[in-house]
Amino acid sequence: MRSSVLKLLRSRAGNYISGEEIAKHLNVSRTAIWKHIRELKQTGYEIVSHAKRGYALMGTPDLLLPNEVKSVLKSDLLGKEVVHFFDTDSTNNEAKKLAADGAVEGTIVVSEAQNSGRGRLSRGFFSPASKGIWLSVILRPSFAPQHASKCTLVTAVAVTKAIEKFTGIRCGIKWPNDIFYEGKKLVGILTEMNAEMDAVNYIVIGIGINVNIAQAEFPEELQRIATSLQAISGNAIERKELLSQVLVELESAYLEILKNGFLHILNEWKTYSITLGQAVNVIGIDQTFSGIAKDIDEDGALLVETENGVERVLAGDVSIRPKT
């Protein structure tokens, strides 16, 4: 009901609509409408009231509420359902619970803040309230489980393209799961899967984008290695609009790999890579070596040329660091 009231207010674009008209349209009492208006105000919507003219929506909160996200949504599959939290430990954890309970493909989970945001290899991820896009997407693909790790690379391409189209900022992808701008981390991606021997039950893709974090707001240990779109551009970014663009690009990439496989997207990844051609250190569980990152193969594994030949590095079991 609240979303229906909000939809009517939006339809008047800042002009008044009477409580009587809203009540008649929704077939409820004017008292019920007044209660929903009060709840919307408490959430952060700027609604003015006039005794004779009714209500007018004058401003919306900078929150990724389901109604706000859906008001600008341009994707068909992704964002089919929007689950919102003001604070949670991790959107991926919430998404995995929902997926296990049967949430439809395309469901997204967003949170204004995360208190235990995770990156790859269980590293922490700084996720302050209403300053970024902390997002998880539930997918139920038809491809085999061994292809799931490539979704990280696909997502990196989609997010990089979305950022460039929406802000004009050209970023680079550091294998396997980070997006950088001039040597500083801007986006982290974490892909998790639940599968059986020959079938994927679900994939959850977590995306953390530093949007409106001032450089001084980062913890001291991150200020030299992390950045945000606001810090780069000097302007505040409309989070819900950027989220909409991310979902459009990710949906397009996802439908492409379902129809035609991963080859085209992996080739696109190479055009954005800041890892290929670079000297790297590979730090694994039981080995450490150095070499030149030459390419990625059809599985998305990094191919590193060393003194002893080409080493194939799989996502998830190593950390890649530029040589100093």
Which residues sit in the known binding site for biotin? 90-92, 114, 118-120, 185
Rounded Cα–Cα distance for residues 160 and 216 (Å): 24
- Residue 284 tokens read as 């694994």
Nearest of 79, 88, 72, 52 to residue 137 by alpha carbon: 79
Query: C-alpha dihedral over 74, 77, 79, 83, to 10 degrees?
Result: 170
Q: Is 133 helix (H, G, I), strand (E, B) or coil?
A: strand
How far is the C-alpha of 268 from the C-alpha of 256, rounded, in Å? 12
Phi, psi of 235 (to 5 degrees): -130, 150
Between helix 2-11 and helix 19-26 the angle, nearest 10°, is 130
Asked whether the beta carbons of 227 and 234 are under 8 A apart, the reply is no
Residue 139 structure tokens: 């997918």
Question: What is the number of other CB atoms lying within 10 angstroms of the CB of residue 256?
Answer: 17
* Annotated binding-site members: 90-92, 114, 118-120, 185
